[in-house]
Amino acid sequence: MLSIIVMVLPIFVLVFAGFLFSRLNFFGPTFASEFNRFVVYLALPALLFDIMANATWTDLYQPGFIATFTLSCAIIYALGIFIRLSSAQHLADASIDGLSAAYANTGYIGFPLCLLVFGKQSMPAVTIAAVITTSVLFAAAIIVIEPSLQPERNMHRLIAKVGRALVRNPLLISPVAGGLFAASGLSMPAGGETFFKILGGAASPCALVALGAFLAQRRGEEEADHFGPLLLTAIKLLLQPALTWLLAYEVFSLPQKLAEVAILLAALPTGTGPFMLAELYKRGTLATSNTVLQSTILGMITLSAFLFLSRYGTS
């Protein structure tokens, strides 16, 4: 339990730092938005490129794990969209909400937590989950959002507009470029490796500070949606790991250790990716930020319960 608290505490500290310094007026009124643009256009693309460029394809070939985690994310994402559309949400907002329900914090919590619990042998599986979350799931959300925001009705022109928007999106370009670099067999120069490590390492902490700054912005009570974030948090922390358990053991018959890695990753709280996307498109930022915050707080309880039940908990 103590090890989990130590692992997750920096997240709260970074969010609180952004919140406190924003409330003390150390930042300007557009800080959260501009800081998030740095993450979306520079830091996160560098992280995605680095993950893909350094991926070892022989280690990453885990078809059962890939199918389990991908199906789990896809089903939860689709369920989140369906639930939010049924409450008269715009498709773009529903897509971001669906992403919030399915987007595990694999980068900031998943890697160190799995290293602590399962050891180095779990790192290839965590890398697969990170790629699926930050690249495949993220791309699916963008592909759903873009057509819903385009006023064009002519199908050919709509496809052309969406295509142009997608190929200009750094969050889609960077993992593709990283994968192509890895496939080329070229080695990254030491200076380039350092560049991507430093810039990519800034993605999560900067996004968390921006999240805290956004939460500090005073807004009217009429904007608050208390039920939506709680529902998305429950789906993320309870339904997704339960679905992953079903797929891992009953459908794909994964080995126990690999199944437990998949379930633990599915049980992680919502990462900052949905907030970055919400801020980028100016859609549903309040609900998304509340989901990230609530799932992170409550995730300490659910993760502790999982580790206890798996007999991996440490004091």
pLDDT at 211 (0 to 100): 73
Q: How confident is the model at residue 221 (pLDDT cuts 50, 70, 90)?
A: very low
Q: How confident is the model at residue 34 (pLDDT cuts 50, 70, 90)?
A: confident
In sequence order, what DSSP letters do the residues of the chain get, joined into one string? -HHHHHHHHHHHHHHHHHHHHHHTT-S-TTHHHHHHHHIIIIIHHHHHHHHHHT--HHHH--HHHHHHHHHHHHHHHHHHHHHHHTTT--HHHHHHHHHHHH-B-IIIIIHHHHHHHH-GGGHHHHHHHHHIIIIIIHHHHHHHHHHHH----SHHHHHHHHHHHHHT-HHHHHHHHHHHHHHHTPPPPHHHHHHHHHHHHTHHHHHHHHHHHHHHS---GGG--SHHHHHHHHIIIIIHHHHHHIIIIIIS---HHHHHHHHHHHTSPB-SHHHHHHHHHTSSHHHHHHHHHHHHHHHHHHHHHHHHHTT----
Is pLDDT above 80 for 80? yes
Higher-pLDDT residue of 56, 281: 281
8 Å CB contact between 266 and 240: yes
Question: Which residue matches tokens 């385009």?
Answer: 150
CA separation for the pair 88, 90 (Å, rounded): 7
Mean pLDDT of 67-90: 92
Q: Which residues partner with 104 through β-bridges?
A: 270
pLDDT tens-place string over residues 170-203: 877 888 888 889 888 888 899 999 999 999 888 8
Is pLDDT above 60 for 315? no
Topology given in CATH for the domain delimited by 47-216+227-309: Na+/H+ antiporter like fold (1.20.1530)
Is the torsion defined by CA of 32, 276, 80, 108 positive or negative?
negative
Is pLDDT above 90 for 290? no
Give backbone dihedrals phi and psi of 104, rounded to 5 degrees, phi first.
-80, 150
Mean pLDDT of 223-251: 89
Lowest mean pLDDT among 210-214, 249-253, 286-290, 291-295: 210-214
Is pLDDT above 50 for 222? no
Question: 267: which residues sit within 8 A by CB, 6+ positions away?
Answer: 104, 237, 240, 241, 244, 299, 302, 303, 306
Question: Which residue matches tokens 């050891």?
Answer: 119
Q: How confident is the model at residue 59 (pLDDT cuts 50, 70, 90)?
A: low
What's the whole-model pTM score? 0.76
CA separation for the pair 175, 103 (Å, rounded): 17
Q: Domain limits of the chain?
A: 47-216+227-309
Is pLDDT above 90 for 292? no
pLDDT above 90: percentage of residues in the chain = 25
8 Å CB contact between 295 and 103: no
Is pLDDT above 70 for 1? no
Mean pLDDT of the chain: 83
Is pLDDT above 70 for 28? yes
Is pLDDT above 50 for 314? no
